[in-house]
Structure 1
Amino acid sequence: MSEQIDQRKNERIYVHPVTSYREMGIFIDIPWQIYENDPMWVPPLRLERRLHFSKFNPFFEHAEWQAWVAYKGNQAIGRISAQVDTLHRQRYGADTGHFGSLECINDTEVFAALMHTAERWLTERGTRHVSGPFNLSINQECGILVEGFDTPPVVMMPHSPRWYGPLLEQCGYRPAKDLLAYWVAVDYEPPEVMRRVVQKFSKQIKLRTLRRDKFGEEMEILRDIFNDAWSENWGFVPFTQAEFAELGNSLRWLVPSEYIQIAEVEDVPVAFMAVLPNLNEIFAQLNGKLFPTGWLQLIKQLKSHAIRTARIPLMGVRKQFHHTPLGMALAFMVIDAPRQAGLARGIKEVEMSWILEDNKAMRSILESIGSKEYKRYRLYEKTL
């Protein structure tokens, strides 16, 4: 059922559920209107967004969701989604729910209408504590940009107008957690403490790159390390096997093997880091279209090493090594190992994201190599 909000100058404002292929296309296209005059926004690939919101996304194996579009008259002016994730409820309680995919013009009334619609759907499913935005989970894009509007987002990171945070707070939401993005030059000089720690444990740690001939097995190793490493972090929800396999397959031919470094202790994998070329450098030129010629441009720039920046989206050190000197050495080594490979491929700078604001250990490591916090994202929460 659509929810009518008001009627002014013969233009109704209403929020309508997405129930068809055509309506999903409208839902996907709304950011083009919101960011029309924002030179920092990078259009996503429409085809990728279709797949992300389709039944083929393994997230939906353990989650229920609904999407809506807000209209004024016949014009789409905003969107939102609501999700109930079974895995999240197993860890944090049966009364939790999320909102996400939030995009809206700078209009208090329309924004409130979208939030109210999502909240009502969540309430009908037993939600009392709602948080977000998650697009669609904490293992995907999440948060609202609150600092760092003057630079474009890197691949698989969100971008937001300045008005989202204030409008959320007007709707009764409060900040729940800040997520940080750090920026570092690849040709940094390793600090003395880093060299000493690595030298001390270098004989105990063996580094290797991803084995493409055993790709499925390698993905399971990385998933197991990641889920263990992050298991006590705020908001953690484990990657399922299907989710991590889907992520790996989507990036398999875009990421060089040497960009994924695995550290072993006594021949057992215990830490890893993955570097992803910043595909947004290419996507910014495609306006969301991979066909008919966008895919050729993508392949050409990847082969010519034209991309100059990258992102580190995944990293983990097994929990048993946290807060130990060996754990610090593992972190230093997997962070430093891909540097030469990146430099050889023309990478100049890297974003490390995201980092929980209260993850002092990781922030200290990053700052020791000259990395600077340059973007801040915020998650919000509300009791219904």
Structure 2
Amino acid sequence: MSQKKIVIAPARSKRERARFVDLGLSFAAREPHWVPQLRSEMLELVDPARNPFFGHALVELFIARRGDRPVGRIAAHIDKLALLLPCDQGMGPGTGFFGYFDAEDDEVARALLDTAEGWLREQGMNRILGPISLSIWEEPGLLVKGQDHAPMIMMGHHPAHYAGWIEQAGYAEAKRLLTYDLEIGERFPPLVERIVRSGERNERIRIRPVDTGRWDEEVATILAILNDAWSRNWGFVPFTPEEIAHAGKKLKPVIFSDLNMIAELDGRPVAFMLTLPDINDVLRKIDGRLFPFGWARLLAWLRRPRGMGMRVPLMGVLRELQNSRLASQLAFMLIDRIRQSAYGTFRSRRAEIGWILDDNKGMMAIADAIGSRINREYVIYEKALGSAIGGNPESSALVSGDGSAATA
């Protein structure tokens, strides 16, 4: 008997979006070092009413089935802000995306990628990047190195064989993202310590904790620096006001003043560094379940997190100071100040810095100088889609008909 054909259809209703999320969780659970995530958080990310990313994006979610059995999923999406980027920043006109990619086998993988590509062509796109799930600020890239240890907060974790399936479908590497592991109990090399001590004697420089009592103001300050510092980086898409408010609300429970710093020069904020305690540490212990008792353990952890790893997801220095000795000095001072708090107050032993673009030589040099090492690598792939076959990315109609696709 021949194998049942693969049928791929959109997941648009609330119930189908839940099935899309649960399917992803079931695939992830097969990986030995995966950390169970909160289902409610995963549902929010694909909910147009709750994720502000949908305010500037068109998104279609697809589920693949063999008979009645779900065997894979994928998202295809268009970020209207990414369409406005210069082409030399990696995105720009005609670029669409795929994300949330999971497949049972190579046949399903190819069918899902074909479906995402076809949907993007219908919307007028001629190039596809991915996986990016969904925003560049959420989970960009496919994990290609580092499957042998658990991911930290807000980092994707994927099986090694996905890379081969994507490449067999005609995709090539567009950009590599790196994370660095740092033993924070170790002293920095003498040269770095001298640079930090010199900065501490400079009366123009002040390193101060983020004031959580003025959280909204501090978020605005940090995002203003970020939008300037990263504005010429590959793939940079600025945060919208709605995304800033949403991110501030979501991050506040895991923001501790001693771990998040702003650098001021002559009283003016010019650099920042955010550090998050690794909530995956407690999610692993509660198996990603808030009920019946996981919520109590999570609340206790949030009040007094101790002994967990730390992740530095974001840092930046104003563009006017970049490529100067002062920029490096500020970065070393921020890292040293937070390292002392993480080690002394929170009893942490290791931290992860990143992701960092593989052509960001300045940040890579700083990571090397403090003795960190690459522990994880992600790849964003690209593929030309050929001539677009029409469609309008501004249209509210995402696909015509039932949007389904089938392969024998």
Q: Write the deviation string for residues 257-294 of structure 1: whole angstroms up to 9, x where unpaired.
A: 11110000011100000110101111123333223322
Q: Write the deviation string for residues 178-209 of structure 1: whole angstroms up to 9, x where unpaired.
A: 10010001112122222232333331210111
Q: Write the deviation string for residues 95-124 of structure 1: whole angstroms up to 9, x where unpaired.
A: 11111111112x111101100111111111
- 2: distance between equivalents of 1:36 and 1:59? 26
Matches within 5 A, 1:311-326: 311-326=311-326
| 3-state SS of 2:254 partner | coil
For the Cα contact (< 8 Å) 1:305–1:346, is it kept in 2? no
Aligned to 2:234: 234
For the Cα contact (< 8 Å) 2:24–2:73, is it kept in 1? no
For residue 300 of structure 1, report the CA deviation from its aligned partner.
1.9
Matches within 5 A, 1:1-384: 8-9=2-3, 11-55=4-48, 56-92=50-86, 93-105=92-104, 107-202=105-200, 203=202, 204-343=204-343, 344-384=345-385
Letter of the 2:352 partner, please give it: E
- 1: distance between equivalents of 2:301 and 2:215? 25
For residue 229 of structure 1, report the CA deviation from its aligned partner.
0.8
For residue 312 of structure 1, report the CA deviation from its aligned partner.
0.5
Aligned sequence identity (%): 39
Letter of the 2:317 partner, please give it: V
Normalising to structure 1: TM-score of the pair?
0.94
For residue 153 of structure 1, report the CA deviation from its aligned partner.
0.6
Q: Write the deviation string for residues 3-25 of structure 1: whole angstroms up to 9, x where unpaired.
A: xxxx934x331111002111111
| 3-state SS of 1:338 partner | helix
Greater relative contact order, per chain length (Cα 8 Å cut-off, separation 6+): 2
Letter of the 2:295 partner, please give it: W
- 1: distance between equivalents of 2:276 and 2:30? 28
Letter of the 1:371 partner, please give it: S
- 1: distance between equivalents of 2:301 and 2:330? 33
- 2: distance between equivalents of 1:289 and 1:25? 16
Letter of the 1:150 partner, please give it: D
Letter of the 2:103 partner, please give it: C
> What is the alpha-carbon root mean square deviation over aligned residues?
1.5
Letter of the 1:45 partner, please give it: L
For the Cα contact (< 8 Å) 1:313–1:354, is it kept in 2? yes
Letter of the 2:372 partner, please give it: S
| 3-state SS of 1:176 partner | strand
Letter of the 1:52 partner, please give it: L
For the Cα contact (< 8 Å) 1:80–1:102, is it kept in 2? yes
- 2: distance between equivalents of 1:13 and 1:280? 35
For the Cα contact (< 8 Å) 1:41–1:159, is it kept in 2? yes
For residue 70 of structure 1, report the CA deviation from its aligned partner.
0.8
- 2: distance between equivalents of 1:180 and 1:358? 10
For the Cα contact (< 8 Å) 1:277–1:307, is it kept in 2? no
For the Cα contact (< 8 Å) 1:220–1:241, is it kept in 2? no
Q: Write the deviation string for residues 118-146 of structure 1: whole angstroms up to 9, x where unpaired.
A: 11111111111110111112111111011
For the Cα contact (< 8 Å) 1:197–1:325, is it kept in 2? no
Aligned to 1:3: none
For the Cα contact (< 8 Å) 1:278–1:307, is it kept in 2? no
Normalising to structure 2: TM-score of the pair?
0.89
For the Cα contact (< 8 Å) 2:253–2:302, is it kept in 1? no
For the Cα contact (< 8 Å) 2:64–2:70, is it kept in 1? yes
- 2: distance between equivalents of 1:283 and 1:307? 15
- The total of aligned residue pairs comes to 376
- 2: distance between equivalents of 1:39 and 1:211? 39
- 2: distance between equivalents of 1:33 and 1:212? 37
For residue 211 of structure 1, report the CA deviation from its aligned partner.
1.4
- 1: distance between equivalents of 2:370 and 2:154? 24
| 3-state SS of 1:252 partner | helix
Letter of the 2:57 partner, please give it: A
Letter of the 1:37 partner, please give it: R
Gaps spanning 5+ residues in structure 1: where?
1-6
